[in-house]
Structure 1
Amino acid sequence: MSVLDALQVTLGDEHAALYTYGVLGARTSQAATPALYDALSAGYRRHRARRDRLRVLVEEAGGVPVAAAAAYELDGPLLRSPQVQAAAVATEGSSVEVLLALVAQSVGPVRDWALTEATWSATWQLELGGGPQTWPGAPELA
């Protein structure tokens, strides 16, 4: 896989993460669960910035950024706060895996950026109520 291919895969994952965070935010009450709402809002902002940076990186690598799909499949019902929270944790887990694949395929500033973002997502899983992991993003090493 080339760096451009890995960037495109990562960009596609960010499109899905933004969609997911949008749905999760819409299903969360700012009044009833303000901490969860704030965490989802912060996650959305980080993923939006990440998506925007990836678009630039793809263009710098000579590619045309992949477009977002019209919709994405979400797992299970997202009606209660614990379900919303679990979906956000899973989204960050997926992001860590995809970003670490980009780390493996890249060098220099792209690699540094991808590692920083993977670290953020791994840490953000804890903020969202996920448990600590020995090797976040690399379940095959656990």
Structure 2
Amino acid sequence: MTTLDALQTTLAGEHAALWTYGVLGGRTSQSATPDLFDALTAAHRRHRSRRDQLRSLVEDAGGEPVAAAATYELDGPLLRSTAVQAAALAIEVAGVETLIALVAQSSGAVREWALTEATWSGTWQLELGGAPQTWPGAPELD
């Protein structure tokens, strides 16, 4: 896999994350679950920024940024705040894995950026009720 391939894979993941966070935000309530609502809003903003940065990185690497799909699959109904929170946590777990793969396939500024973003998503898992891990994004090392 080339750096460009890893960037495109990461960008595709960010498209899915943004779409899913949009759905999750629509399934929570700012008045009933303000902490969850705020966490989803902050994550959506971070992922939107990440997506925009990835588009630039793909173009800088000589590629045409992969487009978002029209829709994405969700795992079951998201009717309770616990299910919404679990779905958000799954986004961050998957994001760290993808970003760590980008770290492995890149160097310089791209690698530094990917590591910073992987660290953010790894830490954000705690905000979403995840458990601390020794190696977020690399379960084979646990």
TM superposition score category, shorter chain reference: over 0.9
**1:57-112: CA deviations, max 9, x gaps?**
00000000000000000112211000000000010000000000000000000000
Show the counterpart of 2:12.
12
Question: Structure 1 residues 74-83 or 55-64, which shifts more?
Answer: 74-83
* Aligned AA (1:106): S
Matched residue SS, 1:32 = coil
Which 4+ residue blocks in structure 1 deviate beyond 6 angstroms? none
1:23 is matched with: 23
Residue 32 of structure 1: CA displacement? 0.2
Give structure 1 stretches of 5+ with no counterpart: none
Note the C-alpha offset of 1:141.
1.1
- RMSD of aligned C-alpha atoms? 0.5
1:40 Cα deviation after fit: 0.1
Alignment correspondent of 2:94: 94
Structure 2: tracts of 5 or more residues without a match: none
Equivalence map 1:11-90=2 (5 Å)? 11-90=11-90
Aligned to 1:133: 133
Please list the CA deviations of residues 19-55 of structure 1 after superposition, one character each: whole Å capped at 9, or x if unmatched.
1100000000011000100000000000000000000
Deviation at 1:138, TM superposition (A): 0.7
Show the counterpart of 1:107: 107
Count residues in correspondence. 142
1:121 maps to what in 2?
A: 121
